[in-house]
Structure 1
Amino acid sequence: MSKPKACIFDLDGVIVDTAVYHYKAWRRLANQLGFDFTETQNEELKGISRIESLKIILNWGGVSKSDAEMQELATLKNEWYVEMITKMTPREILPGAKEFLELVKANHYLTALGSASKNSETILRQVGITHLFDALVDGNKVSKSKPDPEVFLVGAQELNVPPNQCVVFEDAIAGIQAAKSGGMKAVGIGKAEVLKGADLVVAGLLEMTLAKLENL
């Protein structure tokens, strides 16, 4: 592979950690429906679309709803979630994330966001790093969820860089699979035993260097 030219970042768990807000909003919904679920169960919802997450949660509670009711519940959960993320501050950027973004930009790499979230622009604005991205691709621009590579392929297209010169940063196995099936290099953020198939695994962007990026 030729030297990478672009970095595509997932948002949740890579740049910021909004999982806690998703958990609070989903849990509030579950409680309203008369049941509860744990943080461990919540891990299963990582990188999964809103409606798919809702189906899993309703299944945990043994609750069945029509499609129309599910849309209403998903909208309600999102309203609660948005209410929480609009109070986010730059302090919530994960360690090393802003610094690494600044480093790659300073070294002429192109950057894109590749996230399933439909609220990514709000989050980036709140934490003050929108200017560090050349392209934003999120749930408003794509319809297929990871492990489908659509979100990353659209990101590569918007940056005008071939997929084999893109490096994806992901914290979920579905995201690693999406990057690889899109013909890209993948850096896993988290644990190596979980993120199988990644070309490199680091605990966080704090551990990333230009040398590691260039040697992929």
Structure 2
Amino acid sequence: MTIADKTQKLSEISDSYDALLYDVDGTLADNMSAHKAAYAAAALEYGIQLDTALIDETAGWPTVAVAEVIAQRYGKSFDFDEFALRKSTIFRTEYIQHTKPVAHVLQHLRQEVGKKKIGLVSGGTRKTLEITLDVIGVTGLYEVLVCAGDTPNGKPSPEPFLLAAAQLDVAPERCLVFEDGEPGVQGAIAAGMGWVRIDQL
């Protein structure tokens, strides 16, 4: 399926909704391999040879929450906030400027500007997300950005999605979520929203 075909399919799916909520990492930004590398580099500093399949399991989670899972999985004790900061620093300094967009998702978002309300819902930190969005050319194309710390619970909780819907003043059932990770899909379902797994197109 070509980029144009994928974009058209997304347009057909989203036609009956009023608001579109996009995940960022892995959905709008083709950067999950870079995030995995940054997690692995940070973990190594804590004496952990990280199996990055864990990052797939926790896709969309706040970095602090992923750090807690890493500590539990590997039987280590460390400050989760410090780990998250180190991972984010490695990602921003070594990887972020090379981020490419997921072409068909970005094209779809651009086509929908002015037609639908657009929000971004991510487990990333605002500082890192704003750089990523600038690099891939999304700055100014959305109305709402919900990120780590904006709600008591992150994905797979429905809270981030419901906050975005409330800020856009759109009923949850009128929102369509675009996700590449299972936690995000579960959050969308729990929020009563439509959803698309963009990595399965």
TM-based fold match above 0.5: yes
Structure-2 change in CA distance of 1:31 and 1:134 (3 Å): same
Encode CA deviations 1:84-109: one digit per residue, 9 max, x unaligned.
354235xx001212210122225x11
Alignment of 1:41-60 (within 5 A): 41-60=54-73
* Aligned residue number for residue 154 of structure 2: 145
Shift of 1:11: 0.7
Aligned residues: 185
Shift of 1:140: 4.4
| Partner Cα distance (2:87, 2:41) in 1 | 8
Bigger helix fraction? 2
Encode CA deviations 1:107-129: one digit per residue, 9 max, x unaligned.
x1111101111122221112221
RCO comparison, higher one (Cα < 8 Å, 6+): 2
Alignment of 1:40-79 (within 5 A): 40-65=53-78, 69-79=79-89
* Aligned residue number for residue 174 of structure 1: 183
Structure-2 change in CA distance of 1:76 and 1:56 (3 Å): same
Structure-2 change in CA distance of 1:62 and 1:141 (3 Å): closer
Query: Of 155, 158, 163, which aligns to 2:167?
Result: 158
| Partner Cα distance (2:95, 2:169) in 1 | 31
Any gaps of 5 or more consecutive residues in structure 2?
1-14
State whether residues 18 and 117 of structure 2, in contact with CA within 8 Å, keep that contact through their aligned partners in structure 1. Answer: yes
Alignment of 1:1-216 (within 5 A): 3-65=16-78, 69-88=79-98, 92-105=100-113, 108-118=115-125, 119-191=128-200, 203=201
Shift of 1:180: 1.5
* Backbone CA RMSD of aligned residues: 2.1
Q: Match for 1:154: what amino acid?
A: L
Any gaps of 5 or more consecutive residues in structure 1?
192-202, 204-216
Structure-2 change in CA distance of 1:185 and 1:75 (3 Å): same
Superposition misfits of 4+ residues, deviation over 4 angstroms: none
Shift of 1:15: 0.5
| Partner Cα distance (2:80, 2:138) in 1 | 33
Shift of 1:40: 3.0
| Partner Cα distance (1:122, 1:83) in 2 | 11
Shift of 1:14: 1.0
State whether residues 10 and 113 of structure 1, in contact with CA within 8 Å, keep that contact through their aligned partners in structure 2. Answer: yes
Q: Match for 2:84: what amino acid?
A: A
Q: Percent identity?
A: 27
The structure with more radius of gyration: 1
Structure-2 change in CA distance of 1:86 and 1:171 (3 Å): closer
Q: Match for 2:199: what amino acid?
A: G
| Partner Cα distance (1:44, 1:178) in 2 | 14
State whether residues 88 and 123 of structure 1, in contact with CA within 8 Å, keep that contact through their aligned partners in structure 2. Answer: no
State whether residues 47 and 174 of structure 1, in contact with CA within 8 Å, keep that contact through their aligned partners in structure 2. Answer: yes
TM-score norm. by structure 1 comes to 0.77
